Every structure is written in C-alpha cells, then in structure tokens.
Structure 1
Amino acid sequence: MASTKPNRLAFLSMPAPASYVAGLGRGASGFTTRSDIGPAREGPSAEVVAEAQARRGEEPEVDPEQFQDPDNEVGLFSGTTYEEDDEEADKIYEAVDNQLDSRRRVRRSVIVLPQRIIFAHADTSREAREAEELAKLRSERPKIQTQFADLKRGLAAVTDAEWENLPEVGNLTRKKRKRDERTFVVPDSVLVGDREKNEYENSLDVRQQETGGFVTPAESGTLTNLVEIGQARDKILSLKLDQISGTSTTSGLSSSIDPKGYLTDLNSVVHKTEAEIGDIKKARMLFDSLIKSNPKHAPGWIAAACVEEHAGRMVAARKLIKAGCEQCPKSEDVWLEAARLHVSVPDPLTFFSSFSTQNNDDAKVILANAVQHVGQSVKIWLTAASLESDPKAKKRVLRKALESIPNSVRLWKETVNLETSPQDARILLSRAVEVIPLSVELWLALARLETPDRAKAVLNKARRAIPTSHEIWIAAGRLVEQQAIAESKPGDLDLVDRTIELAVRELKKHQVLLTREQWIKEAERCEEEGSRRTCEAIIKATISMDVEEEDRFDTWIGDAEAAESKGRIATARAVIAYALRVFPDRVDVWRKAAELEKNHGTAESFDAILSKAVHHCPQAEDLWLRSAKEKWLSGDVPGAREVLEQAFVANPESELIWLAAVKLEAENGEVAVARELLNRARTVADTAKIWMKSAVFERQHGQPETALKILSSALSKYPTFPKLYMIQGQIHQTVKDYPAARASFAAGIKRCPKDVTLWILASRLEEADGKSIKARSLLEKARLVNPANEMLWAEAVGVEDRSGVANQAKAMLARGLQECPSSGILWSLAIWAEPRATRKTRSVDALKKSADNPVIICTVARLFWTERKLEKAREWFGRAIKADSDQGDSWAWWLKYEREHGTPEHREEVIKGCIAAEPHHGLTWQSIAKDVRNAQKSTKEILELTAAALH
C-alpha cells in the first residue's frame, strides 16, 4: 500500500515564483555573476519590495526628515492644520526643555573611560566659576594682541622719517636662510670649450719642427718666456720690500718693519677657526645693531671696536671708535680706547700699508680733543702724560692738568714724582697741601722731605687740619723714634709712648674709634717699616682695648701667637711684655716669653728672660732648670751651679733640681760631688726616683754591690716602684746570676703586674738562659694580665722569630693584629713579613688603619727607600718626624738613609734636628741610650750608634 505522507522537499523542484529574489526579506538585492548567461537582471522595483514587506507584516521605512516639514507629515497628524495654538504650545515646551537643561546639564553628562565609567559631579555654579577663572587667567597672562594693543594704537603717530630711521635687525637666528635659486643661460663659448676639451691634436706644429723643440704658442701668436716673467716678478717684489724697509731712493717713506723677519712674524700670526670667525661675525652684527639703536651708549662703541681689533681689522676699529668719540664726547672711556687703538701695533698682514706701525701723534691729538670735552678726567690727563717721552713734556702736561683739576691728589703725586730735586718737590707739596688740606698722603710726603724740626711743624699743621687721622699721629711717633736713634738719645724713646697715648686720647675725643685689631695691624706695619719702638708703643697703648678682664690672658696669648705666625716678632714681644706687666706671676706667660726668645732671640735675650722668670716665679722648677741648662750649654758651668743653688733655696725638696745638680756635676767629672749630692738628696727629698738614680749612678760608675744595697733599701720603702726591680734584675743578669735575676723580676711582676717592661725583661732573661718555652709562657700570662698591648704581642712575635719558627711567628702576628688593629709596631712587622711584591698593598692597609702613626710612616719611607724612590723616601721620613719627633728610631733611620743617598748638608740637618728634639723613645733608641756603657754620651753619639745598629 503506497504511503500517503506528503513530500516536504518537493518545493525544491518547483519553479520560483515571478519576481522572486533570494534573501529579499533580509535586505538582499539581486545580482548577476559571470556564470549567468545573458544580461543581468534588474532588481525588484520599490513597489515590489513594498508588496513583499506587506505580505510579511513589516512596516515600510519612513524617512524621519519628512517630519521636519509640516507639508510632508504622514504620521498621526498628517493632513491637519498647524495653527497658532500649536505654535504657542511648541514654544512653551521648548522653554521648559531649556530650563531643565540648564539645571541638570552636568548630571546629564556621562564620561566613559576604558574599563570604568566616571560620572561627573559638580555644583550648579560651575559655568560661572569657569568664566571667573578664565577672566582671572586673561588678567594674569593676557594674550599678545592684548599686551601690544596700546603700542599698535601708538603706531598711528609714527612719521615716515621715523620709519626710515629704524635700523635693520638682520638675521639673529642660527638658521641659514634659503637662497633664491637663479638660473642663467650658458654662453656658447662655454659649450664650445667643453666640446673641444676631449679633442686631441694629431699633428706637430710647423714651428716645433723648425726649432726642434716644444714651444708654447700664445693666443696672439707670440712666444711666452716664463723665465723673464719670473725675473720680473722677483724684481717687483724686491722693489716693494725696499720701499717698505726704507732703502728705496725713489720713495721718501720709511717703516720699522724688518723685511728679513717678516716671514717669521707671519708664522706667529694666530689663524682663526671657522667657529671663531662665525662668533666674530655674530658679535659684529650684534654690536652694529646696538650702536645703531642706541648711538649714545659708549660701551657699545668700545665693544664694537674691540671686536674689529680682535678680528685684525685695525682700520675699521679706529673708524668705529672715532665715530664713538663723535657720538659720546663726554665719555672718558671712549677717548681712552681711541688713544689706545692709535698707539697699538697693527696686524702683520697689513705689511704693505703706507702708515707706520706706531703713531703716538695721533693718540696725542685724540687726547687733546678729549680734554676739550672731558677736561675733568684725571685718567685722560695721566694717559696724555704717559704718551710723552720727554720728562719736560710730561711735566708740562701734568701742570696743565693741575690748572684744570687742582684738587686731584693723584695728579699732584705724579707731578711730584717727576721732580728730581727735593727742593722742587718740597715746593710742589707745599702748594699741594694748601690746595688739598685734607689729603693725608700729601702731608706725610711733605713731612718726609722736610728736616726733622720742620717735619714736626708740618705734622702739627696736618694734625690741626685733619684731627681724625691716626696715620699722622703714627708718623709723628715714628719721627720721634728716628730722631732719638739718630741723636743716640735712648731716653727720648719714652716720648714715643707719650705721643701714641696722646694720639689715642685725641682720636677718642673726635669720635675716631679704631678697633684693637686695626691698631695691631698698624703696629705690624710699623715693625715692617723698621719702627719697632713705635710698634711697641702702639701695642702698649691699645692692646687692652675692648677685652674683658677674665679673657685678657687667653686673648693676649692668641694675639702673640698670631703675630709670631706672621713673622712679626717685635709685635709678639710687645704683646707678651704687656701681658707680663699685667700678670707677673703667671708661669704660662713666662714660658711663652722664654719660648719666643729661644726661637727668635739671642742667647743673651733668652738668658735675660729666664732670669726675670725665676725671679718672679721662684716655685717654677722648669724655669730654673731651663736657666741652668742654658748657662751650661753656653759653657758657663759656674753660672749654672749658681742658678741651681738659688733653685735649692727656693725649692729645697725639689726632685728635679736635685737630679739636675747631680747630672751637672757628673757630666763635668765631679763624681764625688755628685755622689754626695745624691746622698743628701736621699735624705732631704727621699723620693723613689732619687733612689733609682742613685742606684743607676753607682752602676754606671762600676759599683754594682753598692747599687744593690741602695736598691734593697729603696725596695723596702717603695715596693711598688717597678724600675727598682728592673735595675736589680739587670744587675744580676749582667753578672750571670740568672736565679737572682729571675727572683727580682718575679718579685717585680708580683708587685707590679701591670708593668709591661717587667714581663718583657723576664721573658728575655728566660730566652737568654735558653728556655724559650718559659719565655712564651711568661708572655702568655702577661697578655692575660695586660690585654691588647702591642709591646707584648711584638715581643711574642720576636721570640718566635728568634727561635726560627717563621710560621708560628706569622700566626702570632696575625693574632696580635686582630687584638691591636691600629698598632704601628705590629703593622711594621707585618709589612716586612710580606713578600716584596705585596708589601706596598700591606702598607696601604696599615695607613688606612692608623695613618698618623709615626712607626708606620717611617716604614713606608723605608719601602720607598728599597724601591729607589729617594725623594719620596726623604719626604716620608720628614712626615714621620713631624708626626712624632720623640721617636729616636725615626731619626736614626733618616740619618742612615742620608748617609747612603744624601749630601753632607742633609746629614747635618738631620743631626741638628735630632739634637734639638732630644728624643727619648724607640725600641732600638732606648736599648742603646740606657746602656751603661753609653751613659755619658751625647744625643749625637746616641743617634749615630742607633743608626749603626739598625738593619
């Protein structure tokens, strides 16, 4: 039975309806491809499209613009009439919309940004605020057209002549202007020449064949002789050179230019680079604009002329400055510049110019014209006088200047300086002080030319004319001093003090109050000019001004030190002398005075000041000792004994004075007297140091048993004085009694465990006895009792080194540097323990740790010595001494260096410096200086022994 179900796909085989367009409902339109046969079909018409949309229930599209015209309305109100009521209603609606729009304008705006939406919020007065801000901005920063509005209105009054006189601005920018490209017609001769340039001649000239050589034909047919042309050129050049050098007989011109050296002069000409040329052009343009816009500006003319002078255009420079003189006749600078340009030597490139190289006559004419316009200019008159080579002419110019400017001090001084006769100069100065009575310089100059009696009268007149001048009073004091010295009247020198005191009082009356520092400067000036008595009088009268009573001592000592640092020794002496009068019992002032005389005075002045010092300060032991030592060094041993006897009277129990007396007698061979003095000192003074010196004295003079007895008595009184145990142990060690020496050192260590020297001596005793292990143990105990002590660590390193254990010594040194990182001795050992290549780096590390340590500085100097950098080594030795002059080892190393590489003068300088410093410290220095065999030796001998012992 056949199926009755309808076939749903049967429409695919059916023909398409008429006017069917596929996809028309989706807005498609008909089209035709190349595969179509026949002409393309037209799309459906508007009616067909409207009918299809009506079948689908779609509303036809209506143009919204048609509602704008009432005649084209097809909507709800189509066909109706637009009456007045409708128009009134539209106006009402429009007014309401505008009102709402003005109230909610900000809330209506929405700002859309990426990834977020920001709603703008503002108050209703935003537009008013914006308008107010805009008005404020326009008032603060107006537009350019607003700024120049008044000027634009003022342009209406500009005349044509003013427009014509406006200067050309020129191109002030750095950009190059584009040049106008112009084309020209190429002439036929150029074309013909280019055409024949590549042609060749294939035949010989007939004249060449006849003469047998090459001849250069000329255009006119004549032959060119190049030899004759060269000779003619040389002849013309020689004629020009003869004319310039003044040897020509046909010309009367002469010049100072040397033709032989002309080429050498040309080599000295500085060639300007393109950048300099560009700068000159730019400067020329700027100054040209300046002098055109402001022709009365004198510096502009001077600058423009200088630019031309720098460019080598002297003629242009002179023309410019001449124009400047015409435009600015009242400016003295323009006239002076014009005169300078007319006496300067022109550029060598103007070799063939007809004018001479130097013309003072033109400059004189210029200055003569300048005087007509600027007759009161002192500079112009002085410049005019300087141009004159004849002294008479100079005097004539200056006298003419004084007629115009009689109150110029400078002109009077220049005029007086030209006078060779003192009488003429005196007459001129007499006239000068009449014309200018307020010039201190002229009064002083006149006083210097007068005799002493007349000079006093002149200074009195000057004082009455200028009562406020302190220079006149000082000149009066100097005059009194010179007269007293010339007449050999020392008593008149007191008049200098009275003159300066009167000067200070009179100046105060006239309200002239110079500060104390100003008076000190005046005193230093007097000392510099040789008036030392006046200097002292100034200091005496003014040094106490403006100084509080409690600050006087410090202030005066500071003034003396400042004057001494400047080399004004007389001023420093005057300050110290005044301080001594105020503080006669201050030991510090006497010490400063003694130091000043020792450094800058004589032996007599030093002895005199010490004698006064001990008289005013009898309790000052150091002053007694310095006085006695000074007499002893000068060879006056009885005088030294006398001073010490007086010191005994003033200080009967003074330990230092007793010991000084013993040393004086011992070193002068009076051993019995010295021993007797020590016996009395032990009874009178009875100090631990006197007992120690007694034992040392007996030991030095070969009495060890007596020394041991004295030490036993001393130890019973002073059991905690470590040096007594040291001397006792060393005496036992000298006689090889090691057990007794060990017992002495052990007792000393027990009583004085903090004394490092005792530990070291005990360790060396064990080392000398062959017991290095015992020495190490003692040093280990010493480091526990005295931690971070560089001497103990250095001794431990020395024990290991002397035992031959280099690795152990290096390890011990590293431990010591960890505990004592700034130790100079340990760093010195570390530097020398390094290989030669790394010593320099090690020394840098040492200087970083302790740059001011004298031992490290001396080690660095020795490094430079090993590297053969001799000057640096000498410099660093000096730095080591400057860091600490009490280090004897530094002096010894320096002397050793100078003996090998220095001159006798250098060695003598080192020896003198060491004797003056009297060093007491240093490992090698102390071991030699305290040796019994060197007890009577001087500092120079100890220095030489130490230098010989160093290695």
Structure 2
Amino acid sequence: MTTNTLANKNKKHFLGIPAPLGYVAGVGRGATGFTTRSDIGPARDANDVSDDRHAPPTKRKKKDETEEDDDEDLNDSNYDEFSGYSGGLFSKDPYDKDDAEADAIYESIDKRMDEKRREYREKKEKEFLEQYRQERPKIQQQFSDIKRTLALVSEAEWAALPEVGDARNRKQRNPRAEKFTPLPDSVLSRNLGGETTTTIDPSSGLASMVPGALTPSGDLDLVKIGQARNTLMNVKLSQVSDSVTGQTVVDPKGYLTDLQSMIPTYGGDINDIKKARLLLKSVRETNPNHPPAWIASSRLEEVTGKVQMARNLIMRGCEINPTSEDLWLEAARLQPPETAKGVIAQAVRHIPTSVRIWIKAADLEVETKAKRRVFRKALEHIPNSVRLWKAAVEIENPNDARILLSRAVECCNTSVELWLALARLETYENARKVLNKARENIPTDKQIWTTAAKLEEANGNNHMVEKIIDRSISSLSANGVEINRDQWLQEAIESEKAGSVLTCQAIIKAVIGIGVEEEDCKQTWIDDAENCAKENAFECARAIYAHALQVFPNKKSIWLRAAHFEKTHGTRESLESLLQKAVQNCPKAEVLWLMGAKSKWLAGDVPAARSILNYAFQANPNSEEIWLAAVKLESENAEYERARKLLAKARSSAPTPRVMMKSAKLEWGLENLNEALNLLEEAVKVFPTFPKLWMMKGQIEDQQGKIEVAIETYNTGLKQCPNSIPLWILLSALEEKRGVLTKARSVLERGRLKNPKTATLWLHAIRIEIRAGMKEIAQTLLARALQECPNSGELWAEAIFLEPRPLRKSKSIDALKKCEHDPHVLLAVSKLIWSERKIQKCREWFTRTVKSDSDFGDAWGYFYKFELMFGTEEQQQEILKRCIAAEPKHGEEWCKVSKSIANWRFKTEDVLKALVKILPIPI
C-alpha cells in the first residue's frame, strides 16, 4: 500500500467542505473567551433577504397551476377575442376560504330554517294533494258507480252483447295479408287428388335413418318405419323374457311400469348421500353396538330407493345387537308382511320380555284368533304389563273380557283403569265388591270413589252418593292426598257430562268451600258458577248458586245472578221457583218481585202476575217501580180502567215525575189529549225540572196544531232544563217545520253553547244544512264538530256518507281508527259494504255491530232488513229471535218508531218489523 493511499484513507470527511451557516469555531467546545453571534444576536436583520443556500429544496409547481398575479402571459396565443388575455382582471377565481366559510354558515342557517318549516310545508302539501284528489278523482273512482250497476245485468243481456270488432281496415290489421308467395307446382300437383302423404322425400336427411324403408319410387314410407320399430321392440323383449330354464324373468306388459318404479324417490344431491354413507359407515365400524347408527343407515338407503340394501343393513344390525327393540321393530317395518313375521319371531326369542315387540307381533296377524294366541303367549312372559292386558281385553267379547280382567287385576293390582273396566263389566253387586277391592289396593285415587258414587246413582241409591263423596274426601286426606279444588270441580263437570247429576252436585257441595277465605267466598263462588256456565255445565252452576244462597240467603246480588242464570239456561218453572224463594228472603228487592210478575205475565197467567204485584205492594208500599209495573200489566192487557185507577192511587200516595208522565202517556195513547194536557200542566208545576214532561206537553200541542204554544212550552222547558238535549232538538225541529231555518240553526247553536262537546246537537245542525241543500256549509260544520268531538261515532258515521262515493272507503278507515268499537261507525261500515253488494262480508260486519252493542236498535233493524233481502228463512228467524232476546231500547231510527204515540203498545217484534219498512236501502 502506497503513502498516497494511506493519506487518502486517513483524510477527514469534512475537509474541503464549506462551513455551515453561522458556524463559529470553539463554541461547541465551551470556549467563552471571545464574543460570538450567539451573544450579540443574529447577523442579519429580520427584513433582509434570506440566504437559501442550505434551505430544503421546494416542490416545483405544476405547469397547469397559475403563477403569481403579476406574472401575466401576454403572448398572442394566450389572447381571446371575448375575454382578452388569460391573465386579465376576471381570469382568476375570486372564491377563497372566507367565501367558503361564509357559504357553509349560510347553508347551515338555511338548513335549520328549512327544518323548522318542514312540518308546516308537509301539512300544506298534504292538504293540497287531498284537495287535488277530490277535484280530480281517478277514472276508476269516477266510473265505480257505473261499474256497480253491472251487477244488475242479467245473463241474457250479457249473452246479447255484440262481439267487439276491429274497426281498422285489412291493411292495418294484417299488413302482410296482401303479400302473396306462390307455391311450387309440385306441391299443388301432389294435393290435387286429396290424398295424404305418407312418405318423405329421399333428398331430406331422414331417408338415411331407416334403411330398407324406401318405396320403389324412392320415397321414404312412414308407415313402414312405425311397423319396423314395433317389430324390433317385440324381438328385444322376447329375447330377454325367457331364461335358459324357461322361467320368465321379464314381464313384457309391465316392463315400462317396472322401469318407472326403479326411479329413485330422493331428489337431493348425490354428493350429500355419499357423505352420509361414509359418515354412517364410520359410526357403525367405530361402535357397532350403537343401534341408532344401523337404523339411520337403513333409512338412508330406504330414502334413496335401495330397499334391499336397507333390509340387509338392518338385519346385520340385529345380528350384532340382538337385544335392541328398536332394531327389530325397524327390521319388521322394512320387511314384507310374510317376512316380517319371521323377523318378529326371532326378536321374541331374543327379547321375550319386550311389550312393544309382542304388540307388533299381534298387529302383524290378520285373524283375531291368532291375535288372541299372541297376546296369551305374551302375557305368560309379561304378566304385569297393563298395556298388554288392555290390548288383549279390547279384542275379546264381554264375557271373556271379564274373565281376563279378573286375572288382570290380580297381576296388576295398582292399575286403576283395569279395576274400573272390570267394574263396568260386572253386575251391580259384583261391581261394588270390585270397587271396594280397588280402594283397598289403591287408597289414593279419587276416580275410584267417584265411580262408586256414579254406580250408586245409576242404580237408584241416591242417598249413598253424598255419603261416598264425603267419605272419599276424608279418606284421601287421611292418606296424604292433597284435595285440589279445581281438579274436583273439573271432575264434577265431567260427571255432569256423563249424566251423573247427583254425583256432580255432591262433589260441588263437598269441595266448594275448600281453600277459600271467608271474605272471598261470595265472589269466588259467583266466578265458579259463571265458568261452569261457559262450559255448558249448567247443573254444576246451579249447584254452586244453591250452595251460595244457603250460605248467603239475604244477598240480593246472588239471587239476581241466579235468576238471570235460570232465565237464560233454565225453564220457566225453575225461574219462578227460584224467585219465590228469593222474595221470601229479600222482600225489599223490588226487581225480584217484578221478575216474578213478568215471568207469569209472559206465560199468559195474568191473575198470578197481579197476585205477585199485590204481595209486592204489601212488602214495598208506595214503590214507584211496582206501581208502574202494575200499570203496565193492566194497560198491556187492555184493562185501561184498572190502569187509570192504579195511576190515580199512585198519584195520591206516591206522586213522582214518572208516575205523572205514565198517567199523561196513558191518556195520550187513548187519545184523551185534553186530559193528558191537564195532567201535564199540573205535573210541570210540581216537577218543573223533569224534561220529559215538557217534551210530552210540547208534542201534544204540536199534534193539536198549536205550534206557537208548543214553541213557548219548549222555551219554558229549556229555561228549567237547559241540559236536556232532546228538548233543544225538538224545538229546532219545530222551527224547521214551520220554515224558519235561521231560528232552527240558532236554537242548536244556543244548545251547543249551553252543552259544549255534545255530538248530537252538532249532528242535527249538520242535517239541517243537508236538508236545506247547503252541502258545503254542512261539511264545514262537520269539520268543526269533529274538532270538538273527535271520538264521536255518530259524527264519523255521518262523515262517511257525506263524502263522494269514491272517498267513502278511505273515510271509513279513518273512522275505524278513531272509533274502532263504536256501534254507529260499525253500522255505517256495514251499510257501505251492503251498498257494494258484498253479501257475506256485510253479514259478518252486521254480526260484529250487534255484538258490540245489543241495545242499539238501528243495527238490528238494518240487519233484519238485510236478511229479508239476501238471507234464508232460518237466518231471518234467527235475527228476529236474537233481537227479541236483546230487547233494544236505543237508536235514532228505533226510537222514532218505539216512541211514537201511535205505537205505544208495540212490543220488540212489532217495532222491528215496523222499522224495517221505513229504513232505506243503502246505495
């Protein structure tokens, strides 16, 4: 190595390199003996141009970016005729960060203001859309009424309609019809004779398919092809039909059927089957003593159509696991019936104590004698199997069954079913002995005791029934059995259904008070009776009421419930008997007296009804209800003088507003108007705050033609009774009747001011406008009314039919959302469906309406009219019967008929039939 080389190697790396900016020697080593720039500050002023000799390199700007504002490119190629040079005044984008920030702030403010106005805007859009749809309904809605009339078109009219023709000319209908392509002469010449072609031209490719089928003329004969095919098939089948020994192995006739049966029934993936086979094979080889693996393998093969392989697998499993019941039963299922018997025989040899295998063996036998033999053999091996004994008894006649059961109860002395079955087959004396032995062997079962009670009742020993039930309760309690009240009540219900009434009554009497606190007895027993009535166990309910009345003989509510139960589910005799006991224990209960009198009256025994009311007078002197009941009884039976005397006596001894009203009504009904007015004049002086008196007085004066006097009467009555809604309506109707609509409107408006949120007053105001032809005003009133009374069914029902026909359905949906169970809305929807002639659906809605409120007479009237038009006679009678039972009292149309003085003697049936005549058909 040379000297120069060593010198270059030892040369320091910083030699020859210029010093860094601001470098002063010695400062790094701590030299402080001289002044440096770090002591006196930087060498340059802040405004001096920086020295960028050691600054980091800056990124070059892209060519497409603009340069500084003052560096303009004034080349001719950069000049434009319209905008000048690109470096002009408007060539730069003035949009900067401040503008972007301001725009973002303005955008957020606009967004917030838009959110605040959104609800109002959406509401306005919705209102505009609804108004648009009302003004411009769809074509389908416009023609819905015309389409509905198509239901009235008869079949003859439909058949007479002409076919729809095509009005276009021939060229428009079929533009290709005028084009004519002439056929070759060869085709025409072949068809001149009208013969059918049975050959194919040899020039076509079909001629090479069947050699030797060409005709002498060179054409291919189709008939010969078919004959050759059949011959070839017969030859093939004949060759395989007989083997060398002459035994038939193929049935030519059923060949295709057999092929069809070989199609696998499994439609899954073949790869899944292969995987399942491998997995099951692994399970079988790993644990051959696991029977479910063999069963699963055989069922897999069965599903895939390989039944024989499934049989082989299951039999292999039986050889490895000869004591498995499931394997043998599966093997018997897979085998044909003849082979299955042999399989079950092997199973019996391996498992002689298996009940399921013996039962399967009996099932495989066809003859009853063979079944008996199998069961006898089975019982030799398993004498304590209840299931085998029951199966063996089922196929025997009664005598042999009794003998078998005698042996069965010896072998299975703890089986209640066997003891009871033997008792049913024995005579009365022997059955008692059998049940006594059963109680000794099974002292903890209640069914044996109840069976014994039923046995005594069936043989006329009624006095023993209650004793047996009482002994059963004490015996079971002594043996540690809990007396479950609900279970015993269910046993009583089952006893009643079996016809053992005394047994069920004895059970009720014995257990009704168990586990019930004294203060809860009354309500608990009432609930029990109602539950029994729901399950149609009427004797149990009657027994519960009887026990409750023995414990609480002075409870009016229990007597009333029992009476209503007898009225609904009992006979007239049982009801009257109960009411006689009721009035003896509760003589001050007026309703019980009235129920008894009404029952006698409805049965036609008027003297008995009078007698009951006389006794009621003695127990309840000066009772308004009894006075009025007696008056009604006499007036209904046309004993008007008796009724007048009773009312006169009542007015002198117990003058009440209702007595005065009934007195005036009787005279009004008998057309003694002056007498009725005199009574009402006297009554309104004594009872000025009873509105019905003023109403009757005004109606009688109106009937006499004294309209001014009637209006004065109504005004006076309203001063005394400002909250009487019918008075306001009567006064308004009278003003409308004499043609003063302004006063009629003002009357209803004053009524609404006195009685705010009253839907009926709104409804009559709306109808006044409708009758006057002011439909727009009526709709405005309706909108106001729904704001004040949003849940009024009457108003919503009116709103449905105030809409145009296409919009009624949507309005009915809104009404149902607001008043889902209101009878007025349900009736309106039923009428709407009726107008669409949807018979079955309409019947369902009418049924729903009368169920929601059975006191709503209008619903019954429309329902009955509907059935008269579309229902059968049975359906009509059913509605009439249900209406009479419901006895409706309310409803606008119903009250127009029932409250009319001309119909004052009408019963429910008469009112319904009169109402049907005046109700309009919905359209």
TM-score category of the 2 structures, normalised to the smaller one: 0.7 to 0.9
Q: Deviations over 1:859-917 (max 9, x none)?
A: 00111111111111111111111111111111111122222222222222221111111
Counterpart pick for 1:439 among 400, 403, 415:
415
CA–CA distance in structure 2, aligned partners of residues 242 and 702 of structure 1: 112
> Aligned runs of 1:530-679 on 2, under 5 Å?
530-679=499-648
Return the structure number with greater relative CO, CA threshold 8 A, min gap 6.
Answer: 2
Structure 2 CA distance for partners of 1:745 and 1:211, relative to 1, 3 Å:
closer
Counterpart pick for 2:302 among 306, 309, 314:
309
Q: Deviations over 1:435-460 (max 9, x none)?
A: 22221111111111111011111111
- Cα root mean square deviation, aligned: 3.2
> Aligned runs of 1:164-243 on 2, under 5 Å?
230-231=230-231, 233-234=233-234, 237=237
Q: Deviations over 1:232-288 (max 9, x none)?
A: 632664898999xxxxx975999xx9967974994997754343x333333222222
Consecutive unaligned residues of structure 1, counting only runs of 5 or more, are 1-44, 61-203, 217-223, 244-248, 343-358, 485-491
CA contact (8 A) 2:759 2:789 kept: yes
The residue aligned with 1:127 is none
Query: Sequence identity, in percent?
Result: 46
Counterpart pick for 2:285 among 251, 269, 292:
292
CA contact (8 A) 1:598 1:606 kept: yes
Is the counterpart of residue 719 in structure 1 residue 688 in structure 2?
yes
CA–CA distance in structure 1, aligned partners of residues 14 and 690 of structure 2: 134
Structure 2 CA distance for partners of 1:57 and 1:419, relative to 1, 3 Å:
closer
Is the counterpart of residue 322 in structure 1 residue 315 in structure 2?
yes
Structure 2 CA distance for partners of 1:260 and 1:648, relative to 1, 3 Å:
farther
Consecutive unaligned residues of structure 2, counting only runs of 5 or more, are 18-207
Q: CA deviation at 1:481?
A: 0.6
The residue aligned with 2:445 is 469
Structure 2 CA distance for partners of 1:875 and 1:229, relative to 1, 3 Å:
closer
CA contact (8 A) 1:241 1:259 kept: no
CA contact (8 A) 2:857 2:894 kept: yes
Q: Deviations over 1:38-80 (max 9, x none)?
A: xxxxxxx9948956996998399xxxxxxxxxxxxxxxxxxxx
CA contact (8 A) 1:644 1:657 kept: yes
Q: CA deviation at 1:853?
A: 0.6
CA–CA distance in structure 2, aligned partners of residues 268 and 252 of structure 1: 19
Amino acid at match of 1:389: V
CA contact (8 A) 1:749 1:759 kept: yes
Report the TM-score when normalising by structure 1: 0.72
CA contact (8 A) 2:265 2:304 kept: no
CA contact (8 A) 2:264 2:305 kept: no
Q: Helix, strand or coil for the counterpart of 1:273? A: coil
Q: CA deviation at 1:685?
A: 2.4
CA–CA distance in structure 1, aligned partners of residues 285 and 389 of structure 2: 41
> Aligned runs of 1:467-866 on 2, under 5 Å?
467-484=443-460, 492-866=461-835
The residue aligned with 1:278 is 271
CA contact (8 A) 2:485 2:514 kept: yes
Report the TM-score when normalising by structure 2: 0.74
CA–CA distance in structure 1, aligned partners of residues 463 and 542 of structure 2: 17
CA–CA distance in structure 1, aligned partners of residues 614 and 333 of structure 2: 81
CA–CA distance in structure 1, aligned partners of residues 644 and 624 of structure 2: 15
Structure 2 CA distance for partners of 1:816 and 1:423, relative to 1, 3 Å:
same
CA–CA distance in structure 2, aligned partners of residues 527 and 366 of structure 1: 49
Structure 2 CA distance for partners of 1:262 and 1:517, relative to 1, 3 Å:
farther
Is the counterpart of residue 418 in structure 1 residue 411 in structure 2?
no
Q: CA deviation at 1:535?
A: 1.2
Structure 2 CA distance for partners of 1:648 and 1:233, relative to 1, 3 Å:
same
CA–CA distance in structure 1, aligned partners of residues 262 and 646 of structure 2: 86
CA–CA distance in structure 2, aligned partners of residues 211 and 911 of structure 1: 88
CA contact (8 A) 2:266 2:305 kept: no
Amino acid at match of 1:481: E
CA–CA distance in structure 2, aligned partners of residues 416 and 831 of structure 1: 70
CA–CA distance in structure 1, aligned partners of residues 836 and 698 of structure 2: 43
Q: Helix, strand or coil for the counterpart of 1:777? A: helix
Q: Helix, strand or coil for the counterpart of 2:632? A: helix
> Aligned runs of 1:334-373 on 2, under 5 Å?
334-342=327-335, 359-373=336-350
The residue aligned with 1:58 is 15
Q: Deviations over 1:489-509 (max 9, x none)?
A: xxx312111111111111111
Structure 2 CA distance for partners of 1:365 and 1:51, relative to 1, 3 Å:
closer
Structure 2 CA distance for partners of 1:239 and 1:571, relative to 1, 3 Å:
farther
CA–CA distance in structure 2, aligned partners of residues 473 and 852 of structure 1: 50
CA–CA distance in structure 1, aligned partners of residues 395 and 315 of structure 2: 32
The residue aligned with 2:364 is 387
Q: Deviations over 1:744-797 (max 9, x none)?
A: 111111111111111111111211222111111111111111001001101111
The residue aligned with 2:147 is none
CA contact (8 A) 2:393 2:401 kept: yes
Q: CA deviation at 1:378?
A: 0.6
Could you say which structure has the larger radius of gyration? 1
Q: CA deviation at 1:820?
A: 0.8
Amino acid at match of 1:898: E
Amino acid at match of 2:343: I
Q: CA deviation at 1:611?
A: 2.5
Amino acid at match of 1:318: R
CA–CA distance in structure 2, aligned partners of residues 819 and 46 of structure 1: 119
Structure 2 CA distance for partners of 1:765 and 1:364, relative to 1, 3 Å:
same
CA–CA distance in structure 1, aligned partners of residues 910 and 711 of structure 2: 33
Counterpart pick for 1:401 among 374, 378, 381:
378
Q: CA deviation at 1:592?
A: 2.1
CA–CA distance in structure 1, aligned partners of residues 632 and 13 of structure 2: 146
Counterpart pick for 2:406 among 409, 426, 430:
430
Amino acid at match of 2:356: K
Q: Helix, strand or coil for the counterpart of 2:790? A: coil
Is the counterpart of residue 450 in structure 1 residue 426 in structure 2?
yes
Q: Helix, strand or coil for the counterpart of 1:375? A: coil
CA–CA distance in structure 1, aligned partners of residues 522 and 443 of structure 2: 34
CA–CA distance in structure 2, aligned partners of residues 511 and 381 of structure 1: 38
Q: CA deviation at 1:934?
A: 0.5
